[in-house]
Amino acid sequence: MPGSYKQGGFQRAKYTITKTNDNAIDQEARYFVLRYDADPHARAALKFYAWSVRADNAQLADDLLDELEHLQSEVTP
């Protein structure tokens, strides 16, 4: 299964990160990309992040949990 979370190790430069508003990214910043539609561990990480960020940004937390719920409804009949 190429590209699967079940194979390989951590790769520092697996993805190219750009901002949708065309602003430059901080070249010293570190990013971690997760494909949460195909990886149950990524969904768990996203859910944990939502609960962790809730005190600082409740809207983001709600949006992330809503996205996970929407994804689950697409997968489960």
pLDDT digits 0-9 by tens, 18-75: 999 999 999 999 999 999 999 999 999 999 999 999 999 999 999 999 999 999 888 6
Q: Is the pTM of this model over 0.85?
A: no
**CA pair distance 24, 52, nearest whole angstrom:** 27
**CA pair distance 64, 72, nearest whole angstrom:** 12
DSSP 67: H
